[in-house]
Amino acid sequence: MTLLSVNDPMQLPRTSIVYRPGGGVEGYREVHDKASALAVLAFPYSAMKEVKRPARPGCYVFADEEKAYIGETSDADRRLLEHFRDLSKNFAREAYIVLGVGSEGRLRFNAVAAEFLQYHLTNLCEEAGLVQIVKGANPALPDVDEYERATLETFVQQSLVLLFDAGCRVFDSNLRTRRGTGDTDTVGPAGPMEINVIAAPPVGGELELSYAGLWARGYSSGRGFVVMAGAEVRADVNPSAWDWVKNDRDKLRAAGALLPIPGVEDRERLCVNVQFDSASSAAKVVSGSRDGGRWVAPRHPQLLLTAA
């Protein structure tokens, strides 16, 4: 049994209000929490032109049972209609918009907040592994002051609850299993990490990590899984990640194998090949997460840039 903790806002009791101005069940609805400055508007994607779209900043999710697109805008009215005209978004069955409500919420949930929410919701969706992320450009983390970051992180937590209550199941679900490599999730790696291995991928054997837009390539070797020099590594490590993930990161930095990327704060770069015991362990270290994501065939093959 999980005990309630005041240190974890996701564990506190909460009340959501679902308002359906048109009646029915599956149509337009507004989900509010009186303790929050946010609300989620949800409606069938096909009804985009009929619903009232607020002309203010928002973060939005288009989804069906297999895919999700997460975006942000300073003008939800204009941007969502543009998406509706884009045939590549026709997979969507539901649309969800997170925005500020009330005078305080409209002031605090601005364009920067929408960018911050898009970045973190995209990462959380990748980490959950329940659907495939459909992307254009990779989300960017806006530069904000520390005091402002605390408010924005609260928005992330509040939006997850409101989105779930609105029917969005791309971050949490009791109905679907996670996508993944099939490797068994373990507390620790099955074998040691080898730094600066001399190896080359087999022809057609390169794989790409599907996690939060990281550019990382690797391949299965006879003794494990090799992440190639030039691969990006997410700078942050999630609190839920295994302890050994941070330890392996520290070893890579101490060996000079993991270096900062000039001008980029949220990721670092491997400058040598690194071999892990399995694809699962490699994904966890690269992504800094408990589940790690999955290695898939490259969608847009191109050369990796190796750090000097």
Find out whether 42 and 62 touch, Cβ atoms under 8 Å.
no
Find out whether 149 and 143 touch, Cβ atoms under 8 Å.
no
Residue 8, pLDDT above cutoff 80? no
The predicted model gives 174-186 an average pLDDT of 54
Model pLDDT, residue 184? 41
| Highest mean pLDDT of the ranges 161-170, 197-206, 290-299 | 161-170
Percent of the chain, pLDDT > 70? 88
Q: Compute the distance between CA of residue 25 and CA of residue 44 in angstroms, rounded to an integer.
A: 11
**Cα four-point dihedral sign 305, 213, 188, 5:** positive
Q: Compute the distance between CA of residue 291 and CA of residue 179 in angstroms, rounded to an integer.
A: 10
Residue 99, amino acid: L
Q: What are phi and psi of 292, to 5 degrees?
A: 85, -25
In 3D space, the residue among 215, 207, 197 whose CA is nearest the CA of residue 275 turns out to be 197
Extents of the domains making up the chain = 9-166, 194-296
Paired strand residues for 132: 67
Q: What is the pLDDT of residues 269-284, one digit of tens each?
A: 999 999 998 888 899 9
Percent of the chain, pLDDT > 90? 54
3-state class of 199 per DSSP? Answer: coil
Output the pTM of the full model: 0.61
Find out whether 218 and 283 touch, Cβ atoms under 8 Å.
no
Give the strands of the sheet with 194-195, arranged side by side: 194-195, 274-276, 224-227, 217-221, 207-210, 294-296
1-10, 49-58, 117-126, 266-275: least confident range: 1-10
Q: What is the pLDDT of residues 122-175, one digit of tens each?
A: 988 887 888 888 887 788 889 988 888 888 999 999 999 999 999 999 998 887
Q: For 24-146, where are the E strands, in sequence order?
A: 29-32, 38-44, 58-63, 67-73, 94-100, 132-133
